[in-house]
Amino acid sequence: MSVEKGLAGIVVAQTELSFIDGQEGVLIYRGYPIEELAGRASFEEVAYLLWYGLLPNRSQLDQFVQQLKAEQTLPGPLLEVMRHYPRSTHPMAVLRTAVSTLGMLDEEADTTDEAANRRKALRLMAKMPTIIAAWERIRNDQEPIPPHEELGHAANYLYMLTGQAPDEAATRAVETYLILLADHGMNASTFACRVAVSTLADIYSAVVAGIGTLKGPLHGGANERAMQMLLEIGSPERAEAYVLDLLARKERVMGMGHRVYKTQDPRARILKGLAARMSDRRWYDIALEVERVFLREMVGKRLYPNVDFYSAPVLYAAGVPIDLFTPTFAISRVVGWTAHILEQYADNRLIRPRAEYVGPKGLKWVPIEAR
């Protein structure tokens, strides 16, 4: 019996959703390299592509957007319970709990035919930005802002955070970010979703598992920590000493390294370009210096910036609060999660790996008085 720690290199499913070449730095959604989509498509088009396998024509997109808009509002009882969450709760914990509540409030929660699952996937995509924005308002003693009837998914999210129509640069940044993060093969949170539905559990339970898994600092939680690091560094001249100190203490530089990419992460490449074009370049300049020192120190280790590294200055410059970075990741990845969930249901077998037992055997019962 051989153990692959972290399931490294193990292929657990076939998928038509995304292809990653970790040696060449390639990411493809349903046949389209991400470079074709980022900056051209809307996030709604990419969601349609992942769910239905092709880019929508005008009338398909209009209908899709209309269906999405019709699902953006939160049920009253959910908003009501959210007002009772402790104000200091991390937004990822709020999202996890609120999505679980959504499941309780959805009469179709346990109906698992394909049409019902597609409706629920749409509901999750539509409602998650509203949940996060509502929490941002509630924790600041402000009234949640209802979804805007005209704005697209990315712009509406930014609008619901502040009540102001976002500027074009911020909308473009967040839209590109959402597109780049929508799916990524068998990453940890997607795997968690697939494991959950492989037991024929419902889609809400699976997405709750996905959110819980994304929250960790080795996965989606890294973007928030990368930004905290940039803030702590404060200026490019301080980056070198900061990185050297981290490495000397054998700590990780958040936003660096990847299980699959052994070259530049193609998403990081696009986000780096975007960060360079944002009006507030201060954090980008610090990030550049962190990257330079890290690559110099880790030469030969094949560690490069991952998607979370340059998404930090992009989201920050777009005005997204730091602890909403990982929830914003979830707003995007819920599309990939649910697309994988649909694939798993369509060709399911219980996911149940084995463990190698390395403990003792044959011990004899000892009465409690004698232990």
Q: Which residues bind ligand ACO (CB under 6 A)?
A: 6, 218-220, 222, 252-259, 301, 303, 306-308
Q: Which is nearer to ligand ACO, 3 or 218 (CB)?
A: 218
DSSP H or E run through 28: strand 26-29
The minimum distance between CB 252 and ligand ACO, in angstroms, equals: 4
The minimum distance between CB 8 and ligand ACO, in angstroms, equals: 7
The minimum distance between CB 304 and ligand ACO, in angstroms, equals: 10
Short-list 221, 225, 185, 226, CA closest to 29: 185
Which amino acids are annotated catalytic? 258, 308
Q: Are strands 32-33 and 26-29 parallel, antiparallel or unpaired?
A: antiparallel
Which residue number places its CB atom closest to ligand ACO? 257
Given a contact cutoff of 8 angstroms between Cβ atoms, the answer to whether 91 and 324 are in contact is yes
DSSP-assigned beta bridge partners for residue 21: 26
DSSP annotation of 145: P
Give backbone dihedrals phi and psi of 76, rounded to 5 degrees, phi first: -50, -50
Q: Which is nearer to ligand ACO, 252 or 282 (CB)?
A: 252
Distance CA 72, CA 270 (A): 29
* Max CA pair span of the chain: 77
Q: Which is nearer to ligand ACO, 7 or 351 (CB)?
A: 7
DSSP 254-266: TTB--SS-SS--H
Q: Which is nearer to ligand ACO, 165 or 244 (CB)?
A: 244
Q: Which is nearer to ligand ACO, 78 or 256 (CB)?
A: 256
Question: Half-sphere exposure of 268 toward its Cβ, with a 13 Å CA cutoff?
Answer: 23
Residue 340's CB is within 10 A of a number of other CB atoms, namely 27
Question: Half-sphere exposure of 145 toward its Cβ, with a 13 Å CA cutoff?
Answer: 18
